[in-house]
A and B are shown apart, each in its own frame.
Chain A
Amino acid sequence: MNAVVELQQPARVDAGIDARTVVAAQDLTRTYGVGETAVAALRGVSLEIPRGHLTAVMGPSGSGKSTLMHILAGLDKPSSGTVEIDDVEITKLKDNELTKLRRRHIGFVFQFFNLLPMLSAEENITLPLSISGAKIEREWLEELLDATGLADRRRHRPAELSGGQQQRVAVARALVSRPTVLFADEPTGNLDSQTSAEILGLLRGAVETYGQTTVMVTHDPKAATIADRVLFLADGLIVKELGRSSQAEILETLSEVGR
């Protein structure tokens, strides 16, 4: 089933943000290994991510959701199929071009925060800009620090911050370059429920306030409630799709697609 997902009108779209597709994937397959031991992680996935939407990707472990995200973000290459980000076909790009594309178009939030221990919170946030040699916009940085509540902790090292604070630094780092798409890989996977809620609030806030297009891989039904759209993967295929849903609806769908 090659589910080409029809775009739903977003539940809420801020003025000035158009709903054009920013990420488009065609017939993605990904096979690991060769011969008899070959494992198909993706078996033909097509999807489109509209600008200004938060899309959640869910599914049981082994369903291919992480593989899908890695391919969409240009970290992995599909065995077949194409991915376009902002009309650029990234599946054809060489390593260096991909790196440059990530600088301009993509932000990451990881499960394990992945901050550099020897840098301060602020230095960690601006790291992508200094890597690409881009100028730091002071105002934007201050706004991010305020939004993430880190203004008074900007000089602290990661070791001096709580897990939630560290993940907030990671979110700010992902936003600092105003990426075309923000990918979050289990952003709450390593946090307790209270701090999880904080981080989810931040992510949703970015969508609302800045129209930040976001793709989030999660197995946490509660996390998926902030999504405008939830895609369910099973055995390498998109098997179901929901619009904005409650935790109960999501749980039900999950058990439906075979957890």
Chain B
Amino acid sequence: MRRVAIRGLLARKLRSALTAFAIVLGVAMVSGTLVLTDTIEKAFDSIFSSSYAQTDAVVSGRKLVEWSQTGKATVSPDLLRRVQALPEVEAAAGTILDMSGDANQAKILDRDGEAIQGSNPTFGLGVDPGDERFNPFRLVEGDWASGPNEVVIDLNTADAQGFRVGERVKVAGEGPVRGFTLAGIVRFGDVDSLGGATIALFDVATARRVLDKTGFDAVAVAARDNVSAERLIDAISVALPKSVEVKTGSEQAAEDGEGVGEFVTFIRYFLLAFGGIALFVGAFVIFNTLSITVAQRTKELATLRTLGASRRQVLRSVVLEGAILGVVASAAGLGFGVLIAKGLTALMRAVGLELPQASMVFATRTAIVAMLTGTIVTLFASVWPAVRATRISPISAVREGGVIVKKPSRKTLVVGLVLSALSVAGLVNGTLGDDVSATVRVLGVALGVLGLFIGIALIAPRLIRPLARLVGLPGARLGGTAGRLAQQNAIRNPGRTASTAAALMIGLTLVSFVAVFGKALLASDENNLRKQLGTSHVISSQSGWDTVPLGAGEAAAAAEGVELASAIRGDRAQLRGGGEVDVSGVDPATIGRAYNFEWIEGSEAALASLASGGAIVREGLELPGGGKAGVGDRIRFLTPAGKRVETVVRGVYERRGDLDQLLGQVVLSQEAFDRSFPRPADLLTLVQADSTAGLERALAAYPDAKLQTGEAFIASWTKWLTDVMSLFYVLLALSVIVSLFGMVNTLVLAVFERTRELGMLRAVGMTRRQVRRMIRHEAVVTSLIGAALGLPLGVALGALVTQSLSQYGVSFSLPVVPLVAFVVVAIVAGVAAAVLPARRAGRLNVLEALQYE
């Protein structure tokens, strides 16, 4: 029997290959994701560990807040001298070299005077070249930067921009643009590529000036011979102030990598989810194909039974077939994963997320996970067809007639209806229910969607007839007899058409959901920003979330034609007894005219009290005790540099939406902000101006400052949402492609099954072209059934989720254009799936087809 299974697969090579492909793609997505994220992780690891490669200990500010704009506490030169004086210390050097946050940013300008950007970090760093071992950079060309007028840049940037040693390069740090002489070009440790990041490297004194810093980011220490790392660290820690700590080099590297590590982990699970969806769709395809082949092999299997094969042996042979398919497909998918990893990198870059690369990491874990998931999913999908095969009685061997079409059973319908009802209940409870815990919500939605897919696939055979009549109408009109026959062919075996269409339905449901939900989020986000913004223009950084040097806001305020310019400082802080919050520093005199406050507690007068040290907070800020902050409450927080700040709430302003906010949860006066945060900078400047000519002139010295009208600013600030939607579309396209393979498969099997019929049609006058058209129409009818199931389902899910968020101003509206586009995609998918089967059908030799048994 084992031979029967293997020979069977080999005899049906094309079909087996098509079937396997359904799983290959899902597995490739899984393995590709793992390869990609492992590689990124390794690249980041090497970036962070390179910083401290030959360092025994690192003294640096405690990291209190992730992704701070102003940076953690610095190490004073005085402390460096004290460390150098310790008997355990052989040598120590101070550096400005922290690549873990957003604090050390200096933008290099290209030849057109535009900041080289993207959404990638633009590091400004300072190292004194003196001691080789504390310098992670390797000189490729030229010399180290020394003195206030020299800079060194990284090899990638130099190559990309064509900069040569000796020429002038402009750099903008925490101040206006300045020109420097390019002294040399460096490579960073062993790192091949820093992604899209750029590095401008100065000597320490110059870096301090460019970045508006005092002291050092870190002091790197080397121990004397015979001094252990522990002894060194013990010796140093005696002398340290509270805001600073000492660690081994690798500990420091690990800490620097934490933020990025979380981010990479997020990307890993995010992408794996799409691999999971593709595998789920692949399972549908496998199930369907195996069911059809079992039905077509009724005679063969029955003959085996008459020859003495037991039910168990039949079961085993079909499951074995599935197992072989699963293993082979998983192995192929594992290989394809490398290509997928490359594709994903390109995709990330397209949405502005350029990640550093190292040589590709192919972990054993990747192979194990990919092989297991692919094989298990395939085996799982082959169980039911195998059970069905055991039900074939030996007498079928001698019975007349071809494939028996199974009537959709009542039991299946009932199971489908019950499952769908339960899923809808879970979904409604998960989205709209009151007093439901987050876990129940997530489970309700996830299992609800999954259950609904299976439930609808079970009900679908009953829906095929009316749906095919509906979606086949245009085809029947346009395609003449071929179109009409195609429509009827699609409903001949409703169960088969149903599961083929259901596979496509899954992808289409998810993209429609994304379209509905994304549109609602985007509209509400834009709306909320519009409500907040009270001025005609906004100045932000090019990327939108970096800070702009203080000078830019001041220059704008003084510019000709400017009625009002209200700068908003921004950074993050650690709330005592709570999480991290965004803190803004505003000008109490102007902010009331630039930002439209709606007061929940307090009034406009609260703004005036900011000047005397008070704070206003956003509605919903949680206090350590668990309550919400209200007027009179005390708030204590820790800045990234370790400074404790205490203030009293004077007003609570209305939160608009949950997405983009112009102001932080805690708003201070600029003076208070500047006192608390070491290197204050503006996140945004809200500007009311009649003409922009004067403004543009005033901002010319700040290449990273971007002046936009309010609407343009809102559009660019919300662009991340559109980017995320595109990312979802592309990743979900994978599962649509998987379902395409299912469609090709079903059609090839149908053509094979109807060989004699096709022969007759050709004999009575059907042209090859008409035959091809007939197959194509059948495919389109099937894919449109998928759309007819998927789009309403996706829209309904979207409506449900937007409804659950209605309190945040998210409201449902029908995304007509995307939905029409998805219908077109479905039609194109159908036509594409039909190419091969239609060609096979068209090529049939009439005579052979007629004599075919």
Measuring CB to CB, which residues of chain A are less than 8 angstroms from any residue of chain B? Answer: 70, 73, 75-76, 95-96, 99-100, 102-103, 107-108, 110, 112, 114, 116-119, 127-128, 130-133, 173, 177
Contacts and interface: CB of A to CB of B under 8 A. Distances in A.
A131 B764 contact: yes
B768 A110 contact: no
B658 interface: no
B676 interface: no
A181 to B, nearest CB: 13
Contacts of A119: 488
Given A75-B846, A130-B480, A118 B488 contact: yes
Interface stretch (B32-40, B604-612, B703-711, B754-762): B754-762
A110 B760 contact: yes
Nearest to A73: B763
A240 to B, nearest CB: 26
A100 B847 CA distance: 17
Given A112-B756, A116-B757, A118-B491, A102 B764 contact: yes
Given A112-B756, A114-B760, A99 B767 contact: yes
Contacts of B762: 99
A107 B761 CA distance: 12
Contacts of A112: 756
Contacts of A99: 762, 765-768
Interface range on chain B: under 10, 10 to 19, 20 to 34, or 35 or more?
Answer: 20 to 34
Nearest to B493: A118
B485 A108 contact: no
Contacts of B485: 116
Tell me the dominant secondary structure on chain B's binding face: helix
B763 A75 contact: yes
B644 interface: no
Nearest to B764: A128
Nearest to B402: A117
A91 to B, nearest CB: 15
Contacts of B492: 117-118
Residue with the highest number of chain B CB atoms closer than 10 Å, among A103, A107, A112, A131: A131
B97 to A, nearest CB: 75
B850 interface: yes
Given A96-B769, A99-B768, 4 more contacts: A75-B763, A116-B761, A119-B488, A131-B770
B718 interface: no
Nearest to B482: A131
18 contacts: A76-B847, A96-B768, A96-B769, A100-B765, A100-B767, A108-B760, A110-B760, A116-B485, A116-B760, A118-B491, A118-B492, A119-B488, A127-B761, A128-B764, A130-B484, A131-B761, A131-B765, A133-B481
Contacts of A110: 760, 763, 850
Given A114-B756, A118-B492, A108 B480 contact: no
A173 B770 CA distance: 19
Contacts of A107: 764
Nearest to B489: A118
Contacts of B488: 116, 118-119
A206 B7 CA distance: 51
Contacts of A108: 760, 763-764
A169 B214 CA distance: 98
A108 B491 CA distance: 27
Nearest to B757: A116
Given A110-B760, A112-B756, A128 B765 contact: yes
A130 B765 CA distance: 10
A130 B761 CA distance: 11
Nearest to A132: B765
Contacts of A96: 767-769
A159 to B, nearest CB: 10
Contact of A131 (B489, B766, B846, B850): B766
A130 B846 contact: no
Contacts of B769: 96
Contacts of A75: 763, 846-847, 850
B481 A131 contact: yes
Interface string B589-605: 00000000000000000
Contacts of A70: 847
B322 to A, nearest CB: 30
Contacts of A117: 492
A95 to B, nearest CB: 7
A79 B769 CA distance: 26
A99 B846 CA distance: 11
Contacts of B759: 114
A184 to B, nearest CB: 12
A116 to B, nearest CB: 6
A103 B765 contact: yes
A132 B769 CA distance: 12
Contacts of B489: 118
Interface string B474-503: 000000110011001101100000000000
List of 6 A-B pairs having minimum Cβ-Cβ separation, nearest first: A103-B765, A114-B760, A130-B481, A118-B488, A128-B764, A99-B767
A96 to B, nearest CB: 6
Interface in B728-770: 756-757, 759-770
A114 B852 CA distance: 11
A160 to B, nearest CB: 14
Contacts of B480: 130, 133
Contacts of B766: 99, 131
A88 B596 CA distance: 88
B486 to A, nearest CB: 11
A75 B846 CA distance: 7
Contact of B481 (A73, A76, A127): A127
B480 to A, nearest CB: 6
Nearest to A173: B764
Given A75-B846, A102-B763, A116-B485, A95 B768 contact: yes
A107 B850 CA distance: 15
A131 to B, nearest CB: 5
B495 to A, nearest CB: 15
Contacts of B760: 108, 110, 114, 116
B757 to A, nearest CB: 6
Contacts of B768: 95-96, 99
Interface string B265-294: 000000000000000000000000000000
A99 B488 CA distance: 23
